[in-house]
Each structure stands twice: as C-alpha cells, then as structure tokens.
C-alpha cells in the first residue's frame, strides 16, 4: 500500500466522521453564513446541502487519491452553477467557500490528532487536503462562471428579442406585463429610447455595462446597440467617442414611432461629426427636413446658378448658412468666420447676383428663413440618396 494511499485512508476516516457528524456540518454552515451575507440570505437548508455535498466529494477523493477525475468534481461545479442562478456574486460565493474551507481544515487537523495520526502523516495529509480543497474551489468557480456566461447570454438574447418586438414594426406580439416585468420594465412606465453608433458585439457589451447604471434593457437592434433607459444617461459616465441619441421619456406604446426618429437623428449627427449623448429634440429640425428628400431636391434646384465644383461658390453658400445660423447678424457671422463684416456682406451680395435671390435680411419670417436655410444646406451637403436612406 502506497504512503499516499495510507494517508488517504487515514484522512478519509476523518472526513467520513466529519460528514456523519451533524455538529460539524453545523459549524461549517455557520462559518460560511457568518463570512458571507449573501450566502446567509439563502435558506439554511440550502447551505447544509452545499456542505454535505462537498464533504461527500472529499470523502470520495481521499478513498481514491490515485485516480481522481473530472467526474469527481461535477457536484462542485453544479453547486457553483446553482449559486450563479440564485444571484449570489462570485465574491459572496468565495467568502462562504473559503470560510468553510478554513474551518474544515481546522476540524480535520484537530480530529486527526485526536485519532493519534502521526505528525509526519498529518503534515503530508494536510498538504493533500489543501490540494483537494483548492481543486474543489476551482471547480466551484468554474461551474459558477460557466453558468454565469450562459445566464448572461440567455438574458441578453431575451432582452434583445424583447427590444426588437417593442421597437420594430414586425409580426411579433407586443410583450405582456409579466414578460416586461421579468425584463425590469413596467407596462405603464416611461423610458428614454437610446440608439448608439456602436455595432461591434464586444464594444456593445462594454457600453451596455455602463448604461445599465441608468436602468432599463439593452441589445443589438438593426445592428446597433439600442436600449430603453429608465433615466437619461449622464454623458460624463459614457465614452466620449461614442455617439448616442436619446429621446425624451415616453410610454412603451409610442416607442415604435420614436425609434426610427432616433435612428434618423443618429445618421444625421454622425454625418455632422457629432459625438457624445445627443438629445433627439435638439436634432428635431434636421430630422424633420431630412424626411422630405423630394422637397429638398426641389429647393436645391432653386440654386441652379451655382456650381458645386466651384470652391468660391461653396464658400458663398457656407457664408450664407453661417449668417442665417447667427440670426442674420453680420457682426456675429463675421466673428464666427473670422473675417470682417464687410467680407460677409460682399459674399452675400455675390450670392444674390448668382442666384437671383437677395440674402441680406431677405427672409423676415421664420418660415422664410427656414426655406432659405434648407435650400442652401441641401445644396452644400447634397449627396445621392441610397437604399439605406429609406430604412
């Protein structure tokens, strides 16, 4: 009989006695519950089952020290998976496991000495025991993380499916109150529709973790990280290089109409080089005008006297836009362009000659100014429409 087998037999007898002793099980349960508030929130019977299973694995290990296999630790992995499903954090789980491990070692040493186990055998046996408990802990952690990933994937898939049904006009039935509740939403609640320019899954998961601080659910909708936030995201808490359009809080029934507006605003903000959190309402004018491409083309046609390939003509149009954006005030427009007010006036006069339309104080009404601004902007930034512009 090998020395390792002899040590295993001696310690196996100790572990067998511990497993059969209700008082020892109680001590290990108290140690785990006392060092982990999360574990203590579980029913005590569940903690007792945990300890009894681990002691049974230990007994099996010491009875067959020369041939342990993965199957010896399946119960440990199952326990880790149970804790993940129960919502216990990995930190809380490890606090309980390690407290029980320390107490089990203490009791095993005391009982081995009481049984007359020689010190050299006890020392070598404790090394075996420590190796066993370390392996046991690793398998508990592995089971936890495996289940955690599966649960995370399952929850993410469920949330993404829920979002698509809420936001997209499809054939899926609208989620019921119970399904909404499981996702953390309320049927009569109001939520901010969010649409980001993040499309890569890894980047989407990272941004999702930050957005969860504001409540709600998130997932990839039409290839972009999209979500419903209970509170408007704080720009300070999010990466500066991400573009995120946020709509005002609204009820769930209106979201299918709000979502496409957010998508349209995201495209326009992206073309303008904007970053950060942008309110949908701040982009409402651009969104509304972009929804009328045929009318925009007709307005662009009123500037037929201009050549888009002529840099001077483009400079004249850009100056007129700045002039309109600054309340038709020469001084403000000149300051924005870093030129003299007379230069602005000259450019406006030249633009009037080329287009046949006076631009200096020529639109005293809001709608008149809007018409001029829309025509100039469409001409300057015109690009052929593609199929994706209609989605």
Cross-strand partners of 278 = 245
Write down the pLDDT at residue 347.
92
> DSSP 3-state assignment of 262?
helix
Q: Are 181 and 269 in contact (CB under 8 A)?
A: no
Residue 196: band (very low, low, confident or very high) from pLDDT cuts 50, 70, 90: very high
Strands (E), 247-352: 250-251, 276-279
Kindly report the average pLDDT of the chain as a whole number. 82
- Element (H or E) spanning 267, and its range? helix 255-271
Higher pLDDT, 153 or 329: 329
Q: Is the pLDDT of residue 317 over 50?
A: yes
Average pLDDT over residues 341-366: 81
Q: Is the pLDDT of residue 65 over 60?
A: no
> DSSP 3-state assignment of 78?
helix
Higher pLDDT, 194 or 352: 194
Write down the pLDDT at residue 71.
59
Q: Is the pLDDT of residue 4 over 60?
A: no
Tokens of 303: 């500037």
Higher pLDDT, 257 or 381: 257
**Is domain 3-151 annotated with CATH 3.30.70?**
no
Write down the pLDDT at residue 361.
60
Write down the pLDDT at residue 144.
85
Q: Is the pLDDT of residue 227 over 90?
A: yes
Higher pLDDT, 75 or 35: 35
- The residue ranges of every structural domain in the chain are 3-151, 191-290, 293-390
User: What distance in Å separates the CA atoms of residue 249 and residue 252, rounded to the nearest whole number?
Assistant: 9
Q: Is the pLDDT of residue 264 over 90?
A: yes
Taking phi over 0 as left and psi of -120 to 50 as alpha, with beta for the rest, 347 belongs to alpha
Most confident of 5-9, 108-112, 272-276: 272-276
How many Cβ atoms from other residues are within 10 Å of residue 145's Cβ? 15
């Amino acid at each position: 009989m090998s020395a390792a087998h002899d040590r295993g037999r001696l310690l196996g007898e100790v572990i067998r006695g511990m497993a059969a002793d209700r008082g020892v099980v109680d001590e290990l349960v108290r140690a785990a519950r006392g060092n982990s508030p999360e574990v203590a929130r579980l029913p005590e019977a569940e903690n007792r089952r945990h300890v009894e299973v681990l002691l049974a694995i230990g007994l099996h290990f010491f009875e067959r020290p020369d041939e342990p296999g993965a199957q010896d630790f399946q119960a440990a992995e199952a326990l880790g998976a149970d804790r993940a499903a129960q919502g216990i954090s990995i930190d809380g789980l490890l606090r309980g496991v390690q407290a029980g491990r320390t107490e089990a070692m203490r009791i095993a040493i005391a009982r081995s000495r009481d049984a007359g186990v020689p010190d050299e055998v006890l020392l070598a046996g404790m090394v075996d025991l420590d190796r066993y408990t370390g392996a046991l802990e690793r398998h508990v952690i592995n089971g936890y993380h495996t289940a955690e990933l599966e649960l995370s994937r399952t929850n993410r898939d469920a949330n993404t499916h829920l979002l698509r049904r809420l936001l997209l006009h499809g054939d899926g039935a609208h989620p019921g109150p119970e399904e909404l509740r499981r996702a953390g939403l309320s049927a009569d609640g109001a939520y901010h529709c969010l649409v980001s320019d993040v499309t890569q899954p890894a980047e989407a998961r990272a941004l999702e973790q930050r957005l969860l601080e504001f409540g709600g659910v998130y997932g990839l909708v039409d290839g972009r990280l999209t979500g419903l936030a209970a509170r408007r995201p704080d720009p300070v808490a999010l990466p500066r290089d991400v573009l995120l359009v946020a709509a005002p809080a609204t009820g769930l029934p209106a979201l299918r109409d709000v979502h496409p507006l957010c998508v349209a605003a995201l495209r326009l903000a992206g073309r303008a080089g904007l970053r950060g959190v942008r309110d949908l309402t701040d982009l409402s004018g651009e969104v509304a005008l972009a929804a009328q491409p045929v009318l925009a083309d007709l307005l662009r046609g009123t500037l037929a006297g201009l050549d888009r390939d002529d840099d001077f003509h483009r400079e004249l149009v850009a100056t007129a836009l700045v002039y309109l954006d600054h309340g038709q005030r020469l001084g403000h427009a000149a300051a924005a362009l870093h030129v003299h007010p007379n230069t602005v006036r000259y450019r406006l006069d030249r633009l009037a000659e080329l287009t046949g339309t006076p631009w200096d104080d020529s639109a005293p009404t809001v709608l008149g100014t809007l018409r001029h601004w829309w025509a100039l902007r469409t001409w300057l930034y015109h690009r052929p429409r593609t199929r994706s512009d209609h989605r």
